[in-house]
Structure 1
């Protein structure tokens, strides 16, 4: 019981990004005003180290879902930037933002700033999860080669630029049934305006929004469904995906791998049996081991 409680405390502190956990592991958290939407995790003596940029998924940056991963990578000798591209400053009770109109050019500028940081030894990798993986591949396809990461990692990515999303769309409290609780069919539910944002009904019925992805490049919206031209990125790519993924089909990753292999570009892919969109237990530890090996091979 005591051991379980101790582990719970450590994980809680990790999730909250607490200084106690960072101090114990000799990792410093640094906010660089040049990258206002990011938080740096720098190990030990603050000397320049290979960099890793972590990109969250559709849960948004406020969920702090990457804190433990950032601590782990910093302890492995990397300077880590946990980068938030939407829903960054949400407090308890605030409405969730909709993932839309994200400007890639601004993020590319921040990546260049990170690469040139005094904490980074000029080499860095991008590592994204889900919508963050889509973003990682998209950034890699648009980035200037001289500012490029030396490798990109994508877990459960899409091979195309996809559309608007709000995590409240799956929140039962954001849907009203006039007949009573748990009585209505899905088609009879109405959006609760108290949840704010855009309802999926608006998105899917609007002729313009159905053609728009969540992303822009230099002010121009990237069309929904446009293929990510990852073959423009000439560096190594690592893909991981669960074969039982019901969010993004593994076929998306397989098309990415096929494209890269067809262009004779370096790609490493691992597909996990009995694993879905988010990994747990053995699958997650195996995936993390593969990530560390890939980073060591390409960054150090």
Structure 2
């Protein structure tokens, strides 16, 4: 029986899943959270999107394997990855961007900087789950502590997660992410009982976008935490497919 979902690879880029055939298809770049690209979580989402007609490629941006570190990650590399995906022969004219948790931060920050600096190749639509509304500090997987641990401490401004065009000086922790600079469709989702990154951050993103005349699509999952149960994950995936189907077609 022929496969309905194929593993797809881009040389020097990464891999994901897509439908059979040569397209052209609308495609999506996926950005993992602090769990890292090797955890498999982001590839699960990629497979679901692929089953609905999207080549969905997970970009492994963190430093190292497994959870890896998010320390001085060059956002320029992700902008280049978007351009490489657009140039792929099976990809049509539109490319989306999806991220969860630190991947959501990554997606929103990248889009804001590309918009500000008029960089070509902006994503045509962005969806994020459990996003922050500010830049967060560097993530060291060997030293991570949750907020309930006595070893927890606030972000050190010297420990920076991201850089852009070779510098992290303007990407200090707690700096607001200026996502209102991005003029395309935006999907925001969050569990209302998220104890890792508060849903208040999505409320602030929503309100910030509305103040600037944007109309984000917002989905709140009542009683859910940073991770969601199976039923809500299925609902979330249906909403993602609908969102990207409308805006990348």
TM-score (norm 1): 0.75
Deviation at 1:66, TM superposition (A): 1.7
More helix by share: 1
Deviation at 1:238, TM superposition (A): 0.4
Deviation at 1:212, TM superposition (A): 4.0
Deviation at 1:24, TM superposition (A): 6.0
Deviation at 1:248, TM superposition (A): 0.7
Q: Does 1:242 align with 2:220?
A: no
- 2:97–2:127 Cα contact (<8 Å) kept: yes
Bigger Cα displacement from structure 2, 149-158 vs 68-77: 68-77
Alignment partners' CA distance in 2, 1:41 and 1:282 = 23
Q: Does 1:219 align with 2:193?
A: no
Q: Does 1:57 align with 2:6?
A: no
251, 259, 266: which is aligned to 2:208? Answer: 259
- 1:62–1:88 Cα contact (<8 Å) kept: no
Alignment partners' CA distance in 1, 2:172 and 2:83 = 25
Deviation at 1:28, TM superposition (A): 2.1
Closer, same or farther: CA 24–250 of 1 in aligned 2, 3 Å: farther
Alignment partners' CA distance in 2, 1:153 and 1:49 = 18
Q: Does 1:294 align with 2:243?
A: yes
Q: Deviations over 1:107-126 (max 9, x none)?
A: 11111111121121020110
- What does 1:39-58 correspond to in 2, within 5 Å? 39-58=15-34
Between Structure 1 and Structure 2, whose CA radius of gyration is higher?
A: 1
- What does 1:199-218 correspond to in 2, within 5 Å? 209-218=156-165
Closer, same or farther: CA 44–236 of 1 in aligned 2, 3 Å: same
Deviation at 1:210, TM superposition (A): 2.8
- 1:55–1:127 Cα contact (<8 Å) kept: yes
- 1:25–1:75 Cα contact (<8 Å) kept: no
Aligned with 1:125: secondary structure? strand
Deviation at 1:285, TM superposition (A): 1.5
Closer, same or farther: CA 165–262 of 1 in aligned 2, 3 Å: same
- What does 1:139-218 correspond to in 2, within 5 Å? 139-143=110-114, 144=118, 146-170=120-144, 209-218=156-165
* Long gaps (5+) in structure 2: none
* Long gaps (5+) in structure 1: 1-22, 91-95, 172-185, 190-199
Alignment partners' CA distance in 1, 2:3 and 2:51 = 7
Alignment partners' CA distance in 2, 1:170 and 1:104 = 22
- 2:34–2:68 Cα contact (<8 Å) kept: no
Closer, same or farther: CA 32–88 of 1 in aligned 2, 3 Å: farther
Q: RMSD of aligned C-alpha atoms?
A: 2.3
Alignment partners' CA distance in 1, 2:187 and 2:211 = 16
Aligned with 1:297: secondary structure? helix
Q: Does 1:99 align with 2:46?
A: no
Aligned with 2:213: secondary structure? coil
